[in-house]
């Protein structure tokens, strides 16, 4: 049986906004990872490792996994709390 994880990917260091963080991703887990003896890279004969599916909502990703008999694990995103500061706060004593 195929195994996958469903999650929202984190933003890269090159992104400043959160606009592209709204898509849910279904990514298959590798069955037999091994190390290439020549280069030392991780390699696998499983071609599903390269498949990444994107969905607008978590429910659609879960429905897809259920319809296609895929064991899945949902990783919920961590809630981030934003503190809005002004430049003047750097000079005020608290």
- CA-based radius of gyration for the chain: 19
| pLDDT for 70 | 93
- Residue 54's contacts (CB-CB under 8 Å, 6 or more residues apart) are 23, 24, 25, 26
CATH topology of domain 3-90: Double Stranded RNA Binding Domain (3.30.160)
DSSP state of 38: T
pLDDT in tens, the chain (94 residues): 789 999 998 877 777 776 667 899 999 987 777 888 888 887 777 778 788 999 999 999 999 999 999 999 999 988 878 788 888 888 887 6
Question: Considering the entire predicted model, what is its pTM?
Answer: 0.69
Beta bridge partners of 26: 6, 53
**Cβ 5 vs Cβ 23: under 8 Å:** no
- Residue 62's contacts (CB-CB under 8 Å, 6 or more residues apart) are 6, 72, 74
Residue ranges of domains in the chain:
3-90
């Amino acid at each position: 049986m195929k195994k996958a994880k469903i999650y929202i990917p984190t933003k890269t260091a090159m992104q400043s906004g959160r606009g592209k963080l709204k898509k849910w991703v279904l990514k298959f887990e590798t069955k037999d990872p091994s190390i290439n003896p020549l280069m030392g890279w991780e390699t696998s004969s499983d071609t599903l490792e390269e498949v990444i599916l994107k969905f607008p909502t978590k429910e659609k990703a879960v429905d897809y996994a259920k319809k296609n008999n895929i064991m899945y694990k949902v990783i919920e995103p961590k809630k981030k709390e934003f503190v809005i500061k002004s430049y003047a706060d750097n000079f005020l004593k608290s």
